[in-house]
Amino acid sequence: MKVVIIGGVAAGPKAGSRINRLCGDAEVTIVEKGEFLSYAGCGLPYYISGVVKEQRELMSTPVGTVRDCVYFQDVKNVRVLNRTEATAIDREARTVTVVSREGIEQKLPYDKLVLATGAQSVIPPIKGVELENVFNLKDIEDAERIKTMLGDKKALNAVIVGGGLIGVEVAEAFQEMGCRITVIEFQLQILSLVDPEIAALAEKHFEANGVKIKTGTKVMEFKGETKVSSVVTDKGEFPADIVVMAVGVRPATGLAVAAGLKIGPTRAIAVNAQMQTSDPDIFAVGDCAEKYHLLTGQPCYVPLGSTANKEGRVAANAICGVHDAFPGVLGSAICKIFDYSVACTGLGEGAARAAGFDVVTCLSPAPDKPHFMPTAKLLYLKLIADRKTRKILGAQATGPGVADRRIDVVAVALAAGMTVDQVAHLDLTYAPPFSPAVDNLLTAVNILRNKMDGYLSGVTPAELHAMYEAQKEFTLLDLRSPTEYQQMRIEGSTHIPLGTLRQRVGELSREKPIVAYCKMSLRGYEGALILKNAGFKDVTVMDGGLLMWPGKLIKG
Amino acid sequence: MKVVIIGGVAAGPKAGSRINRLCGDAEVTIVEKGEFLSYAGCGLPYYISGVVKEQRELMSTPVGTVRDCVYFQDVKNVRVLNRTEATAIDREARTVTVVSREGIEQKLPYDKLVLATGAQSVIPPIKGVELENVFNLKDIEDAERIKTMLGDKKALNAVIVGGGLIGVEVAEAFQEMGCRITVIEFQLQILSLVDPEIAALAEKHFEANGVKIKTGTKVMEFKGETKVSSVVTDKGEFPADIVVMAVGVRPATGLAVAAGLKIGPTRAIAVNAQMQTSDPDIFAVGDCAEKYHLLTGQPCYVPLGSTANKEGRVAANAICGVHDAFPGVLGSAICKIFDYSVACTGLGEGAARAAGFDVVTCLSPAPDKPHFMPTAKLLYLKLIADRKTRKILGAQATGPGVADRRIDVVAVALAAGMTVDQVAHLDLTYAPPFSPAVDNLLTAVNILRNKMDGYLSGVTPAELHAMYEAQKEFTLLDLRSPTEYQQMRIEGSTHIPLGTLRQRVGELSREKPIVAYCKMSLRGYEGALILKNAGFKDVTVMDGGLLMWPGKLIKG
């Protein structure tokens, strides 16, 4: 069996190696356009920042062997043609035409073909985008060019166009290199994979670390003679010694389109659960292949190295006759912003509403370990669930606390179709150095249950802020301690410490709606129940409390 | 509705507070024998070590309010009688007799009664156990006594009897206080909740940190005049200025037994999924109540604060007519040993075999982040699965790498009854600062799949070591690089670096069984497949590689 694989970075080598392991007599050839093989593209920002010292580390095995052509031949019994571009697929003749950098063309016959052509950076046709020092960051060559330009220079003005995962990682890397950074994002928030409240916290953290974030801002032009010198936007001009374009990637489907393979609605190559394209002898894996969302069943495009590896294995299994099926993705993602992380899985609030769910959400900011442990750190958690089925739909988190663990737990719960009640009873590992006795996630899920069961009516901080700005008639009831209230508070709020509320209910108007809150709104919830039990009709709780309040606070 | 709750530490206050939240007109009384309420018993070792500075932190809310009787009355509308012992339950009359420390007796009427009497330390009848400076660590008073004894003294000889979770946490705490510590464990390993390979790594790490671990050792006597001075065991005598007994706890069921409530096979109070005892008006929650194991359906006893909180909520829901059911536990647990953690969930290998499963296991030691990230740390992972159903049964981990995240993912997968194939396709969050592109857990689960599918035959390091010691005829094939081999190796092993194996298969005997391995056995697996493809019949791989080898290694 002859197998040709086009693409040698992630999913391609994975598929090739496993095919050889399963079918020792298969003749596997990988065709790779670039110089380098099987490298960690996701590690590029960390190579730029110097966290990863050497280029070769990105393409080595854990014990330091570089995965070059010789390695693939000797260890994996896989032939690699690097610096070689596949230019055409002849599905009738079952051949792939390839051309080496030296211009030598040949036709490779195949029984099975695997497309692992990856993604390419989107380069918008902005005036000046071709100027020197305007970079992409897609491969090792890009990273080398950026590193060379940065050199030992300090305090360069860097502009990053695009505040998605890559833009955010590059911003952090450039900050570590001593640049003055501005991130320009066309949308109203960075990290559009999370909801606005979570993105706002991430933006705040960037600003606190000296990175300027300009959202809702459109790049009009890159100015400069030969080298870029500034970025002109609809909100002003920003000096720029270096620009990185990170406005997104799209699947590299040129070959597939030319070969007449079916392309899906996301413009990636359509595949079934075995990663098979519309031609049963051709498979597509990794960033060029379309994904399905596990919760909606709809096609989606979430290019990630983690998924690419799984898909490479599934395609290899299918080619070798081992039963396997890739069920789809949840859009799980994570990134680091200095000492914060931002992570998500499943559907955001907007996507959940758009998909027709009866959405219930909660915001729960809380320490990620018992508050008495000095290692405890704040984690902001948002959960999304469906009132009708009580199923959990998604989770998002940010802050200095441990996010990945909680988001991964939800990812598994989503894959299993669990209800909030099932999640609340999960037997997660517990000891004080690792988590509170009632883990943040379980506290948050219990808030959802209380909402679904009618014990808690929440109002989001954004909704409340809009009511407040509109000067609606309602009582903002702050239940914190006198010391906390003294330190900071919302103007016009009524202050009754929770411990005295039962005695002082008489002071509150029964005519006006009451919104109760505290720092995180756990006391807000207690207070609302006291008021309900005392006969107050219209009592809600501000989700997440003052920690999530987007408006102004008076201090001192 | 009058509700009486006996026990004011964890599950009791949880149940009481929630009952009042759900049924505002319920009259809830908590009876607590001790002084202190609602405190974090699990935090006691961290209070002894000084990580937690003040006693009051253990019994405060996250914003620093001490949860005392006044707090419960004002905030939770729950009356608390502390320093008051419940001495009898009259189920006919529906009353609980209580006696205050001042000797005042009264009968409290109840409509619903909740037993949250917790657990008590097991004190074996060893000679001298009553000597001064032989302590338990069950409550705050115990912790204060230990702290007072330790004072500012340095280099005390401390002996901890019992190497379970509490023993291990106390050992770490005492080490931080500058004691010379010996842990004496009757069983052949510490931390019997994990399998021997994982426990052995934990023991090694204790020893590396200067804590002596004496397993398979029985305490015969505590010697001393008024104060303990040494511990006599069947393996010698150990000097001791202080001893902590940590041989386990058992459910405190005196009241329940006297009241004729049904006791389960684990000697805890039998309950249904609503935490209801054999008397429908009496509930039991927390460490005095029996649990069910989610995987075996059998009663088990795993007393943990995390479970106690869930059970308290379930009982409150049942009492207030809110539908809820506690499904059971998985035995999930975690502890910290200096910079290591040890964590587990589900069934260990032995328990899985005993329960009749067709057990497949794997050992996978690997970095918990891409090896090129300087933050990457080693995590030793063991998985247990059932060959017949392909369901995952359990997971255990130790090492400096992040364990809790992986073990929690498995805990959710166990609760959902997932197969190894489903786990392999989970969409977990991925970015280089957090995990490798193929997460450790997914690599490990793919090893299990390869074993189940017949691509990989493993031999455990322990089995291999036994074969080696018995001088059986086989080839120990080390596939690492010459540098690695030079640094350390098993005596008598054959060295062929993986990259040269295809050329050098002729050097290997086809008559003898071959066991292939490397550092972690990923190359071992590749090598075994090369040999199988070359016609070798009897080729196995040492699970986990040299990192898991329990025998001697030649160095240099």
Give the distance from residue B116's alpha carbon to the nearest chain A alpha carbon, in angstroms. 16
Task: Supply A81's token pair.
Answer: 């043609």
Contact A440, A364 (CB under 8 A): yes
Indicate the pLDDT class of residue B137, thresholds 50, 70 and 90: very high
Give the distance from residue B383's alpha carbon to the nearest chain A alpha carbon, in angstroms. 16
Indicate the pLDDT class of residue A154, thresholds 50, 70 and 90: confident
Long-range contacts of A262-267 (CB under 8 A, 24+ apart): A264/A290, A264/A299, A265/A290, A265/A299, A266/A290, A266/A299, A266/A300, A266/A301, A267/A301
Q: Do A40 and B329 make contact, defined as CB atoms within 8 angstroms?
A: no
From chain B, the residues in CB contact with A374 under 8 A are 51
Per-residue pLDDT at B63: 83
Per-residue pLDDT at B16: 97
The partner residue sitting opposite A405, judged by closest CB among B404, B439, B522, is: B404
Give the distance from residue A71's alpha carbon to the nearest chain B alpha carbon, in angstroms. 7
Contact B98, B29 (CB under 8 A): no
Q: From the candidates B47, B412, B455, B481, which should be mutated to test the interface with A, based on the most A CB atoms within 10 A?
A: B412
B426-474 confidence digits (pLDDT tens): 999 999 999 999 999 999 999 999 999 999 999 999 999 999 999 999 9
Q: Do A526 and B409 make contact, defined as CB atoms within 8 angstroms?
A: no
Residue of B nearest to A273 (CA): B425
Q: How far apart are CA B39 and CA B59, in angstroms?
A: 4
The partner residue sitting opposite B42, judged by closest CB among A165, A308, A432, is: A432
The partner residue sitting opposite A52, judged by closest CB among B10, B62, B372, is: B372
Q: A171 Cβ partners below 8 Å, 6+ apart?
A: A160, A163, A181, A183, A206, A211
Residue of B nearest to A331 (CA): B427
| pLDDT, mean of residues B184-203 | 97
A428-443 confidence digits (pLDDT tens): 999 999 999 999 999 9
Task: Residue B73: name the closest of B20, B10, B4, B3 by CA.
Answer: B20
Q: What is the CA radius of gyration of chain B?
A: 27
Q: Do A408 and B418 make contact, defined as CB atoms within 8 angstroms?
A: no
Three-class DSSP category at B120? strand
Q: What is the DSSP string of A408-432?
A: HHHHHHHHTT-BHHHHHT------T
Q: Do B429 and A333 make contact, defined as CB atoms within 8 angstroms?
A: yes
The partner residue sitting opposite A63, judged by closest CB among B307, B344, B481, is: B481
Per-residue pLDDT at B150: 92
B289-310 confidence digits (pLDDT tens): 999 999 999 999 999 999 999 9
Cβ contacts from A onto B, under 8 A: 284
Residue of A nearest to B58 (CA): A372
Q: Do B42 and A526 make contact, defined as CB atoms within 8 angstroms?
A: no
Sheet holding A78-81, edge to edge: A78-81, A27-31, A2-6, A112-115, A282-284
A487-520 confidence digits (pLDDT tens): 999 999 999 999 999 999 999 999 999 999 999 9
The partner residue sitting opposite B426, judged by closest CB among A61, A402, A412, is: A412
Q: How far apart are CA B469 and CA B350, in angstroms?
A: 23
Three-class DSSP category at A439? coil
Give the distance from residue A401's alpha carbon to the nearest chain B alpha carbon, in angstroms. 13
Q: What is the dihedral of CA A208, A211, A212, A215, to 10 degrees?
A: -90
pLDDT, averaged across chain B: 96
Contact B524, B542 (CB under 8 A): yes
Per-residue pLDDT at A24: 85
B496-528 confidence digits (pLDDT tens): 999 999 999 999 999 999 999 999 989 999 999
Residues of A tagged active-site: 42
Residue of A nearest to B484 (CA): A63
Residue given tokens 């929650």 in the structure block? B285
**Residues in a beta bridge with A78:** A28
Q: How far apart are CA A192 and CA B508, in angstroms?
A: 57
Q: Do A533 and B40 make contact, defined as CB atoms within 8 angstroms?
A: no
Domains and CATH numbers, chain A: 2-41+55-119+250-319 (3.50.50.60), 134-247 (3.50.50.60), 339-451 (3.30.390.30), 458-555 (3.40.250.10)
Q: Do B366 and A533 make contact, defined as CB atoms within 8 angstroms?
A: no
Q: Do B374 and A437 make contact, defined as CB atoms within 8 angstroms?
A: no
Residue of B nearest to A409 (CA): B409
Q: Which residues of B381-398 are buried (b: 16+ CB within 10 A; e: fewer)?
A: bbbbbbeeebbbbbbbbb
Per-residue pLDDT at B50: 93
How many helices (H) and strands (E) would you count in chain A? Answer: 16, 32
The partner residue sitting opposite A336, judged by closest CB among B306, B433, B519, is: B433
Per-residue pLDDT at A153: 86
Give the distance from residue A277's alpha carbon to the nearest chain B alpha carbon, in angstroms. 20
How many helices (H) and strands (E) would you count in chain B? Answer: 16, 32
pLDDT, averaged across chain A: 96
Per-residue pLDDT at A556: 84
Contact A441, A406 (CB under 8 A): yes
The partner residue sitting opposite A75, judged by closest CB among B373, B422, B498, is: B498
Task: Residue A195: name the closest of A301, A293, A355, A342 by CA.
Answer: A342
The partner residue sitting opposite A43, judged by closest CB among B305, B432, B446, is: B432
Q: Do B437 and A480 make contact, defined as CB atoms within 8 angstroms?
A: no
Residue given tokens 């097991």 in the structure block? B122
Q: Is the pLDDT of residue B343 over 90?
A: yes
Residue of B nearest to A305 (CA): B437
From chain A, the residues in CB contact with B499 under 8 A are 65, 70-71, 74-75
- ipTM exceeds 0.90, yes or no: yes
Could you list the beta-strand ranges (E) of B488-549.
Answer: 488-489, 494-495, 514-517, 539-542
A314-336 confidence digits (pLDDT tens): 999 999 999 999 999 999 999 99
Task: Residue A360: name the closest of A381, A390, A330, A398 by CA.
Answer: A390
Q: How far apart are CA A364 and CA A521, in angstroms?
A: 8
Q: What is the DSSP string of A145-169?
A: HHHHHHTT--S-EEEEE--SHHHHH
Q: Is the pLDDT of residue B556 over 90?
A: no
Give the distance from residue B227's alpha carbon to the nearest chain A alpha carbon, in angstroms. 32
Task: Residue B504: name the closest of B484, B530, B524 by CA.
Answer: B530
Q: From the candidates A140, A372, A373, which should be mutated to test the interface with B, based on the most B CB atoms within 10 A?
A: A372
From chain B, the residues in CB contact with A373 under 8 A are 43, 46, 51-52
Q: Do A335 and B60 make contact, defined as CB atoms within 8 angstroms?
A: no
From chain B, the residues in CB contact with A18 under 8 A are none
A360-414 confidence digits (pLDDT tens): 999 999 999 999 999 999 999 999 999 999 999 999 999 999 999 999 999 999 9
Q: How far apart are CA A252 and CA A288, in angstroms?
A: 6
Q: Do B429 and A484 make contact, defined as CB atoms within 8 angstroms?
A: no
The partner residue sitting opposite B430, judged by closest CB among A46, A304, A518, is: A304
Amino acid at A229: S
From chain A, the residues in CB contact with B305 under 8 A are 430, 437
A195-221 confidence digits (pLDDT tens): 999 999 999 999 999 999 999 999 999
A116-129 confidence digits (pLDDT tens): 999 999 999 999 99
Contact B258, B88 (CB under 8 A): yes
From chain A, the residues in CB contact with B307 under 8 A are 427
Q: From the candidates B372, B390, B392, which should be mutated to test the interface with A, based on the most A CB atoms within 10 A?
A: B372
Q: Is the pLDDT of residue B64 over 90?
A: no
Task: Supply A242's token pair.
Answer: 């270096």
Q: What is the DSSP string of A284-353?
A: E-GGGB-EEBTTT--EE----HHHHHHHHHHHHHHHTT-------B---EEEEETTEEEEEEE--HHHHH
Q: B466 Cβ partners below 8 Å, 6+ apart?
A: none
Residues of B tagged active-site: 42
Q: From the candidates B67, B307, B408, which should be mutated to test the interface with A, based on the most A CB atoms within 10 A?
A: B408
Q: Do B62 and A304 make contact, defined as CB atoms within 8 angstroms?
A: no
Give the distance from residue A488's alpha carbon to the nearest chain B alpha carbon, in angstroms. 15
Q: Do B429 and A415 make contact, defined as CB atoms within 8 angstroms?
A: no
- For CA atoms B169, B170, B171, B172, the dihedral sign is positive
Q: Is the pLDDT of residue A63 over 90?
A: no
